[in-house]
């Protein structure tokens, strides 16, 4: 039995904590707001003091919203992180991840990143796609833990490289969602049978499984109970754009995507599923 803490019990922190508990680990959780700790298993221990939770566990999984939230939690006070490992599963920029590694080492701890692809159903079933930025020693040491959350965790490289891969994937997610929304809007205007469209699409090289996953939400325009809120996609696209600035990459198309995301947010979809981007494309 391992003693594991989950720092942040939001959308992904809760199912991760519950899964680790079901696998007979001793699980501690910490969250900045009490509202998010409801409906956790009785076997999970809720701790309100960050140093206490660190002292009672050997590894902490970070599932907070962004870099600022992580920094505020870990570095607002002088802490002792000796012999403690932090695994960051939040989506942050490569430079932010490197900064966390350097800051945590100053407090005596270890750090590596393991951003995830997937949402609540994959977290529940242990089928998250985990991209790991770490040393080979860290990866081998913690692979059994990672494998309990994702079936085949992949060592991408050093800290920062997995973070960059995650941002690239989320940029593709936004691009695919908007392109699919555009195609769907176009075909509905011309009254093409969407079932026929999907049958043809599935046979082509441009098909992506996300199209089938998001189609029911788009057709019904029901974007509540999100697996990935629009606000998180906006945050990730902003991070991607900032990273591209230093790389001298032309991002005009991504800037347009961000504009559409902002339209969706301003239309009341901040906390709704990111498939709400369809409403910013389809006006009829």
How confident is residue 35, by pLDDT bands cut at 50, 70 and 90? low
CA nearest neighbour of 146 among 113, 194, 188, 185: 113
CA angle 209, 284, 281 (to 5 degrees): 50
DSSP letters spanning 86-120: EEE-S---HHHHHHHHHHHHHTT-EEEE--EE--H
Instruction: Tell me, yes or no, if the pTM score tops 0.85.
Output: yes
Q: With contact defined as beta carbons under 8 Å apart, do 7 and 48 qualify? A: no
User: Is 80 exceeded by the pLDDT of residue 194?
Assistant: yes
Q: Assign residue 208 a region: left if phi > 0, alpha if psi is -120 to 50, beta otherwise?
A: beta
For residues 184 and 76, state if they share a domain: no
The domain containing residue 13 runs over which residues?
3-158
In angstroms, what is the C-alpha Rg of the chain?
20
- Supply the pLDDT for residue 73: 92
For residues 51 and 93, state if they share a domain: yes
For the segment 87-115, the average pLDDT, to the nearest whole number, is 97
C-alpha dihedral, 193 to 228 to 233 to 21, nearest 10°: -150
Task: Supply the CATH number for residue 210's domain.
Answer: 1.10.1040.10
For residues 127 and 228, state if they share a domain: no
Mean pLDDT of the chain: 94
Name the domain count of the chain.
2
Q: Identify the domain boundary among 136, 158, 180.
A: 158
For the segment 154-164, the average pLDDT, to the nearest whole number, is 98
The rounded distance, in Å, linking the Cα atoms of 116 and 211 is 20
For residues 20 and 109, state if they share a domain: yes
The rounded distance, in Å, linking the Cα atoms of 154 and 160 is 14
The rounded distance, in Å, linking the Cα atoms of 40 and 181 is 36
């Amino acid at each position: 039995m391992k003693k594991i803490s989950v720092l942040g019990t939001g959308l992904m922190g809760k199912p991760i904590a519950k899964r680790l508990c079901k696998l007979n680990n001793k699980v501690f959780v910490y969250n900045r707001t009490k509202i998010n700790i409801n409906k956790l298993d009785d076997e999970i221990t809720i701790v309100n003091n960050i140093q206490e939770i660190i002292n009672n566990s050997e590894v902490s999984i970070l599932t907070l919203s962004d870099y600022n939230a992580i920094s505020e939690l870990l570095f607002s006070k002088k802490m002792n992180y000796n012999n403690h490992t932090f695994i960051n599963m939040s989506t942050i920029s490569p430079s932010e991840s490197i900064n966390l590694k350097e800051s945590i080492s100053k407090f005596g701890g270890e750090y590596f990143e393991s951003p995830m692809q997937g949402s609540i159903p994959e977290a529940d079933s242990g089928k998250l796609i985990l991209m790991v930025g770490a040393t080979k020693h860290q990866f081998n040491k913690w692979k059994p833990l990672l494998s309990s959350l994702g079936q085949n965790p992949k060592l991408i490289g050093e800290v920062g490289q997995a973070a960059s891969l995650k941002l690239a994937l989320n940029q593709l997610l936004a691009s695919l969602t908007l392109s699919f929304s555009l195609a769907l809007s176009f075909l509905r205007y011309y009254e093409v049978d969407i079932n026929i469209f999907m049958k043809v699409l599935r046979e082509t090289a441009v098909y992506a499984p996300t199209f089938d996953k998001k189609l029911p939400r788009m057709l019904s325009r029901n974007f509540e109970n999100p697996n990935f809120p629009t606000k998180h996609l906006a945050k990730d696209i902003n991070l991607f754009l900032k990273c591209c600035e230093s790389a001298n990459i032309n991002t005009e198309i991504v800037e347009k995507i961000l504009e559409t995301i902002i339209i969706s947010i301003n239309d009341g979809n901040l906390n709704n599923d990111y498939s709400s981007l369809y409403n910013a494309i389809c006006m009829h």
